[in-house]
Amino acid sequence: MGERILPWRQLLESALESHSQLQHSRFCQLATVRANGTPANRTVVFRGFADGTDNLLFTTDSRSNKVQEAQHCPVAEVCYYFTDSWEQFRIHGDIEVISHTEDDPLKKEIREKSWFSSSLQTRKQFTWPHPGQPKESHPEEVRLESTQPPVDTFCVVTLHPVEVDYLHLKQHKRIVFRSSSGGDWTSQAVNP
């Protein structure tokens, strides 16, 4: 018998599947907290779930602000909105960055698997000049081979959900799912 899929994850996977024809369906917003306590929000691409877990995966450049923000305040929230079904998912949890300095073999494997599942064009972005810095007029083109291991600037961001706020606007339905310290999940229907 396979592992039981959590109800919030079933809802999310169903929404992703029913919107798969829309390229933007894998985009969501990731909110973190800056060192000065103000919010930072950006659009990221959902790269799937870490094998055997409910942890959401995203990729980033080690030089991006979100890496420092995750180190400063390791909590974040992701927000999806699916335009056709009018469903929103706000997923709150602990955030971790897996970088080239990672020692844990399982996390190293997640990073490598994410690298090789990305297109060559996506991988090349991690060889570009420092994000957020003034753009050079003609940056040097870096050649990457498809078999080349992850470059040092390539990181995987994992979000370990502890709360999921699901809202279905068409059905006027809202459910809040919460994880206990023991890993069990509860759900509560609330007013939209």
Angstrom distances, CA of residue 36 to CA of 40, 43, 67, 69: 11, 21, 15, 10
Nearest CA among 173, 177, 178 for reference residue 191: 173
pLDDT of residue 181: 83
**Tokens found for residue 25:** 């369906």
Summarize pLDDT for 89-108 with one digit per residue, the tens: 999 999 999 999 999 999 99
Which pLDDT band holds residue 140 (cuts at 50, 70, 90)?
confident
Write down the pLDDT at residue 3.
Answer: 65
58 φ, ψ (degrees, to nearest 5): -140, 160
Looking at domain 7-129+144-190, its CATH superfamily turns out to be Electron Transport, Fmn-binding Protein; Chain A (2.30.110.10)
Beta-sheet pairing, 39-45 with 154-168 = unpaired
**167 neighbors 192 (Cβ within 8 angstroms):** yes
Give the lowest-confidence range in 28-32, 113-117, 144-148, 169-173: 144-148
pLDDT of residue 142: 81
pLDDT tens digits for 13-63?
999 999 999 989 999 999 999 999 999 999 999 999 999 999 999 999 999
pLDDT given for residue 5 in this prediction = 87
The confidence score (pLDDT) of residue 161 equals 98
Please report, rounded to a whole number, the percentage of residues in the chain having pLDDT higher than 70: 97
Exposure string of 98-131, with b = 16+ CB inside 10 Å and e = fewer, is: bbeebeeeebeebbebbbeebeeeebeebbbeee
Regarding beta strands 173-179 and 39-45, do their DSSP bridges make them parallel or antiparallel, or are they unpaired? Answer: unpaired
The answer to whether residues 59 and 47 touch, using CB atoms and an 8 Å cutoff, is yes
pLDDT at 136: 76
Q: Is the pTM of this model over 0.85?
A: yes
Is the confidence at residue 1, as pLDDT, over 70? no
